Chain A
C-alpha cells in the first residue's frame, strides 16, 4: 500500500469498494499500529454505524484529536481530569465533518489539555514517532500526526495554540495546516488559551488539507470569536501556482538554535518553489525572539483562567473524602492535572496576580503587538513568509522532559504565528539522517488560499510528503 491520500481513498470508492470496507481497513490498520499509542479511544462501533450521505468526504475514515467534544464518546483531553467525561454535545467541526460524510474511527492522543510539544504529557502515555519509535512525534497533536504518518487514516483533526499542528506534522513527515484565528469554530473544542487556539488539520498533502479545511471552515454563531467572512475556494487555489509569488525568507527563522542541516534542507525545498516561479526575498522579523517569553505569559494566563472550570463540581474528576469546599476544589484539581498543566496554571496565576499584572501580562500583550507589527511590515512586501517549522528533527523520548525551558525554546519558529493570528502550514521538506524536516509557510490573515497554492506547487514537484515511515502500514 502506498501513502494514504484522499485521492487514493476516493479512487477506491469509485472503483466499487464500499465505504464499510474502507472503515474496516482503517480499524484494522489502527489495531496493527496500536503500539504507537496514537489513539486514546477507538470508536469501531460508531464508525461502523456512521451515515455517510454524499458529502465531499463521504466514506473517508479519519480521527479527531481528543479535545473536540463528541456526543456520547468520551473526550479526555489526555487528562485524568476528563478521563471519564462523555460530552452531551458535538463540537461544530465534529458536526461539520460528520455532515461532510467523513467517518471518525476514534480520538487521538495528545499532550494533556494541548500543553506540550512532545506528546509526553499525556495521562494515557506517550505517542511514538512512526519514523523512529525511540523519538517523540511532537505535540500537542502528536497522535493525529502519528496516525496519518502511520498510514492508518488519510487525515486527522488537530488544534494549534503555539505550533501544535505544525510541529508534530514536521516531526512525522506529514502536512499540517493551522488556519487564521477565527477561520474555524472553536465551539466544543476544549479551551487552553482562547486568544491563540485554532483548530487545524493534518494530512498527507496540501491538497488533502484544502479539502478538509473547506468542510471545517466558516462562521459559527456559537463561537463569538469565529469570523464572519466568506471562505475561499481552497481547491481552486491549489492550481494557482506560485509564479510571481513573493516569499519572504525570514532571517530570524533560520537563526541561532536552528541546526545547520535543517537550514540546508529547508533552503533546498525553498529553491524548489523558486524553480516553480516564486521569488525569494530576504526579510526580517526582529521581534521574533520575544515570541517565546510573550507566549509563555499569555498562554498560561489564559489557561489558568480557562482551567478554573475544573472544580470537581459539575463534571470531570472529583476527589473523594474531602474536608470542605476548598479541599474539594484543590484536591480534585491536584489529582486531575498532570505536572505540565499545574506548571502553566501556577505561571498564569502568578502573571495575573495583583502587583504583577502590568509587569508581565500587559507587557506581554504589548510585545504581542510588536510581533504582529513585524509581520504586517513584512507582508507589505511579500505574499508569504517561510522558514523551518522546527529548529531540528524529532528529538528522543525523554530528552527534554527534565528541562521545560529547553522544550519551550524549541517552539521558537511556531508561536509567533499564533500571537499574530495568522494562517500557516508545515509541509515535508526532505530528510535529515532519515528523519523528516518541515518547511513552514506563513500567510496573511485569512489568505489560506496562497498557502495551499504554494504547498501544492511544492508537492507537485517533490514526493517527500508521500514517503513512508518505517512504522507505517504498507
Chain B
C-alpha cells in the first residue's frame, strides 16, 4: 500500500515532525509496508464485538480530591529549556 508524498507531509504536519527530504522516501516506504500489514484487520470476524480499550475492562480508579503533590515548580523550572519569571518561553506567536 503506497503512501503519497502529499499524504506523508500531511501526517508529518499533524505529528509536528519535520522530515528531512532524505528520510521521506524511506519513511513513506516503511509506512506503506506497515499499512499493508495492518490491512489484515479488515477481514477479521469482529461483527458485534465491543472495542476493548482496557485489558481488564476497568475504568480508571479515582482517589480522594485532595492535594497530594508538593510544589515542584522550582525543580521543573530547572529542567526547562527556556524559562523566565516562572513562565516557559516559546517563540512569539502573535506579531
Contact = CB atoms under 8 A, between A and B. Distances in A.
A347 interface: yes
B91 A324 contact: yes
A360 interface: yes
A347 B34 contact: yes
A334 B18 contact: yes
Given A313-B81, A366-B52, A368-B52, A328 B34 contact: no
B81 A312 contact: yes
A99 interface: no
Contact of A350 (B35, B37, B75, B82): B35
A311 B80 CA distance: 11
A182 B57 CA distance: 12
B6 interface: no
Contacts, number: 183
A296 B37 contact: yes
Contacts of A308: 16
A311 to B, nearest CB: 7
Interface string A351-372: 1010000011011111111101
B49 A346 contact: no
A389 to B, nearest CB: 20
A228 interface: yes
Contacts of A404: 30, 33-34
Contacts of A420: 55
A312 B81 CA distance: 7
A182 B81 contact: no
Query: What class of interface size applies to chain A in its complex with B?
Result: 35 or more
B76 A293 contact: no
A421 interface: yes
Contact of B53 (A337, A351, A365): A365
A350 B46 CA distance: 22
B37 A421 contact: no
A344 B51 CA distance: 22
A88 B75 contact: yes
Contact of B40 (A195, A226, A228, A290): A290
Contacts of B40: 290, 293
B38 interface: yes
Interface in B32-68: 33-35, 37-42, 44-46, 49-56, 58, 60-63, 68
Interface in A4-19: none
A86 B30 CA distance: 33
A449 B79 CA distance: 41
B65 to A, nearest CB: 12
Contacts of B33: 404-405
A304 interface: yes
Nearest to B56: A421
A445 B56 contact: yes
B2 interface: no
Given A313-B90, A325-B91, A86 B79 contact: yes
Contacts of A263: none
Nearest to B12: A346
Interface string B7-19: 0100110111111
A124 interface: no
Given A325-B90, A330-B16, A227 B56 contact: yes
A369 B51 contact: yes
Contacts of B93: 324-325
B71 to A, nearest CB: 11
Q: Which of B35, B61, B82, B91 has the most CB of A within 10 A?
A: B61
Interface string A317-342: 11000111111111101100101001
Contacts of A325: 90-91, 93
Contacts of B56: 180-182, 227, 421, 445
A343 B81 contact: no
A85 interface: yes
Contacts of B60: 224-225
Given A86-B79, A195-B53, A419-B55, A408 B46 contact: no
Nearest to B50: A369
The 10 lowest CB-CB distance pairs between A and B, nearest first, are A421-B55, A365-B51, A88-B75, A224-B60, A318-B81, A366-B46, A334-B18, A330-B18, A329-B16, A369-B52
Given A224-B62, A315-B76, A325-B91, 11 more contacts: A88-B79, A225-B60, A315-B81, A324-B93, A330-B18, A339-B26, A346-B31, A351-B38, A363-B41, A367-B41, A369-B50
Interface of A: 85-89, 180-182, 195-196, 221-222, 224-228, 287, 290, 292-294, 296-297, 304, 308, 311-318, 322-331, 333-334, 337, 339, 342-343, 345-351, 353, 359-360, 362-370, 372, 404-405, 408, 418-422, 445
